[in-house]
Amino acid sequence: MPYTKVMIHFIWSTKNRNKIISKKLKPLLLNHIKENSIAKGIFLDSLNCVEDHIHLLISLGTEQTISKVAMLIKGESSFWVNKQRILKEKFEWQDEYIALSVSESGISKVQLYIASQEEHHHKKTFNEEYEEFLSEHGFNRNNFG
């Protein structure tokens, strides 16, 4: 049996960064993503969201890819939200996402960062955070999709 631990910090926003994850929707959405991850064999370490985006820390399984895990979580959770008719408008995630590898020594820092999203976003908007992540990790929008 192979032993793997490939930790990925995912970040993605709602479609057009609309602020539609209400205080009512948030616990339902997070709980559903947790349950769905278990059902799909996705090891979800941490997750949290604010009104326009979500952060997840996931350990990839041996047969999982970054794009497949993102697709499974994004597609199924948006389908579920719309099926529940919690919102008046259609719930969608943005196609774009950030996926960053996390070293063993950085796991607790990322867990704390994810847990403190509400506090963090009193100081910084998601757009500022997103652009900061792209810059800090050397993403050039001209070179990446």
pLDDT of residue 144: 44
In this model, does residue 123 exceed pLDDT 90? no
pLDDT of residue 128: 82
Instruction: Return the CATH fold of 6-136.
Output: Alpha-Beta Plaits (3.30.70)
pLDDT of residue 21: 96
Cα 16 from chain centroid (whole Å): 15
Four-point Cα dihedral 130, 136, 142, 144, nearest 10: -80
pLDDT of residue 142: 53
> How far apart are the C-alpha atoms of 141 and 35, rounded to whole Å?
34
Q: In whole angstroms, how far apart are CA 58 and each of 1, 6, 33, 89, 120?
A: 20, 8, 12, 29, 21
Average pLDDT over residues 14-30: 95
In this model, does residue 10 exceed pLDDT 90? yes
